[in-house]
């Protein structure tokens, strides 16, 4: 699974998650850190990536029909990168399952 990491998450997560999500990209790496959510949606769809974010805007199915792409929303608030990494790694089995099921949104807390 490849992730498109939203601007509200650290750029360092690309490296930290290279062992579990190889080929993932942070939006800043591709010049989209200020892009509209609809642009990110189209890019993720084109790349075959799953969007990972803390942003509730991706919950709106009317604005973002789908999947694809799928969205992982982290319900962790303003937390350090280490806590975000631990949250994701702690739910890795659920994330892997999410990749192949019919849901378009996975919320982790």
Q: What value does the mean pLDDT of the chain take?
A: 92
- Look at residue 56 in the predicted model and tell me its pLDDT: 86
pLDDT tens per residue, range 54-81: 998 876 655 556 667 899 999 999 999 9
- Look at residue 60 in the predicted model and tell me its pLDDT: 64
Task: Name the residue ranges covered by the structural domains of the chain.
Answer: 3-108
pTM of this structure: 0.92
Of 84, 98, 82, 67, the C-alpha closest to 5 is: 84
Q: How far apart are CA 87 and CA 102, in angstroms?
A: 22
DSSP state of 86: H
């Amino acid at each position: 699974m490849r992730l498109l990491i939203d601007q509200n998450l650290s750029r360092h997560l690309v490296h930290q998650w290279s062992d579990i999500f190889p080929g993932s990209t942070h939006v800043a790496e591709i010049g989209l850190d200020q892009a509209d959510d609809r642009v990110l949606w189209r890019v993720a769809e084109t790349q075959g990536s799953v969007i990972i974010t803390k942003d509730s805007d991706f919950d709106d199915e009317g604005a973002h029909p789908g999947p694809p792409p799928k969205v992982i929303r982290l319900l962790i608030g303003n937390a350090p990168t280490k806590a975000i990494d631990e949250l994701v790694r702690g739910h890795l089995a659920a994330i892997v399952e999410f990749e192949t099921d019919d849901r378009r949104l996975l919320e982790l807390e």
